[in-house]
Amino acid sequence: MHTAAPQHARAIVFVSPQVLAVQSLQLAEMGPADVEVEVAYSGISTGTERLLWDGTMPPFPGLSYPLVPGYESVGTVVRRGAGAKLDIGETVFVPGSYSFKEAANVFGGSAERLILADNRAVRLPAGIGARGVLLALAATAYHAMSGGRHDVPLGVPDLVIGHGVMGRLLARLNLALGLPPPTVWETQATRRTGNHGYPVVHPDEDSRKNYRGVYDVSGDASLLNTLIGRLQPGGGGEVVLAGFYKEDLRFAYAPAFMREARIRIAAQWSPGDLLAVTGLVQSGKLDLEGLITHTESPENAQAAYTTAFTDPNCLKMVLAWRP
């Protein structure tokens, strides 16, 4: 069903770098294969969204301000076009949208209502709640391992750099897939505590120099030489860059040459990755508990984004759009 009347929805808007507002924006009209989703939760990304927030995101097509960020939303289908396959009432994951006419949609998911193509939403079990916002990061971690292949992992991390949500998901994916637990490096003491099923250590406590799969999710471009130096010599080691880097990456050639190092860049997840991790969650093999540490209402969005980007105790901040 279509509606001729303009619709509006509250959305998070980055008006300009470091200037945030919650604004009512006009929604795009629904097409025959579109659905309207009433959003319950949207996650704040401390990688790409931080770069959009502070204005350091490298230029790419479509990037402009004001913009609506967000690609980690969970909600309920409340309206559908005649050609849509999803049913009203279904719980879905929304990896962003092109909903809004008065701001750039980069990535257009942090809002109370969204219009998107039916085939971009992913069905979820009704009881998943806020944990559903983690599926984009889980799919990104899976893609770093699979490289888009979903039969066998392309690479297996035995060292993960960073124990934020992405680092934890990589380690948990190893366990979910029956692979050996990796070592995780973390410099923040508060993120090294607890029993995780794998060792979490300060880099200075680890002298090993024969890792086969080093997965960096820190986003720290200065670490590349250090990580190459920890690879197994003889061409058996690979550094996978699974973070997002605002600076150019450089490395010393001679040490990389001596180790015959491989360097692989993991791009964003594909629909197949998202379906794969959704299946692992639904089967109970991939545990998402304990990763969402903070929840705020959109009215407190300024404080929520500040906490998400600055507080090491905050693993994942979620905005709750419904009471």
Domain end residue (candidates: 265, 280, 302): 265
Alpha-carbon dihedral sign for residues 221, 239, 207, 252: negative
Task: Flag whether 281 is in a domain.
Answer: no
Give yes or no for a contact between 312 and 191, defined as CB atoms under 8 angstroms apart: yes
Residue 299 lies in a domain: yes
- 239 with 297, same domain: the answer is no
Pair 83, 40 in one domain: yes
Domain boundary at 229, 248, 265, which? 265
With respect to residue 200, please indicate whether it lies within any of the assigned structural domains: yes
Q: Which CATH number belongs to the domain containing residue 237 in this structure?
A: 3.40.50.720
pTM over 0.95: no
> Helix, strand or coil for residue 32?
coil
- Asked if residue 278 is part of any domain, the answer here is no
Helix (H) or strand (E) holding 43: strand 34-43
Asked if the structure places residue 193 within a domain, the reply is: yes
Number of domains in the chain: 2
Instruction: Indicate the residue among 246, 265, 284 that finishes a domain.
Output: 265
> Are residues 109 and 199 located together in one domain of the fold?
no
Per the structure, the complete domain to which residue 231 belongs is given by 154-265
- Do 235 and 307 lie in a common domain? no
Give the distance from CA 173 to its chain's centroid: 14
Q: Is residue 240 part of a domain?
A: yes
- The answer as to whether 282 is a domain residue is no
Whether residues 17 and 90 fall in one domain: yes
Output the CA torsion sign for 170, 171, 173, 177: positive
pLDDT, one tens digit for every residue, the chain (323 residues): 444 445 899 999 999 999 999 999 999 999 999 999 999 999 999 988 999 999 988 888 889 999 999 999 999 999 999 999 999 999 999 999 999 999 999 999 999 999 999 999 999 988 899 999 999 999 999 999 987 666 656 789 999 999 999 999 999 999 999 999 999 999 999 999 999 999 999 999 999 999 999 999 999 999 999 999 999 999 889 999 999 888 899 999 999 999 999 999 998 888 889 989 999 999 999 999 999 999 999 999 999 999 999 999 999 999 999 97
CB neighbour burial string for 203-241, b if at least 16 within 10 angstroms, e if fewer: eeeeeeeebebbbbbbbbeebbeebbebbbeeeebbbbb
CATH assignment of the domain containing 57 = 3.90.180.10
Q: Do both 17 and 75 map to the same domain?
A: yes
User: Residue written as tokens 């009512």?
Assistant: 24
137 belongs to a structural domain: no
176 & 225 share domain? yes
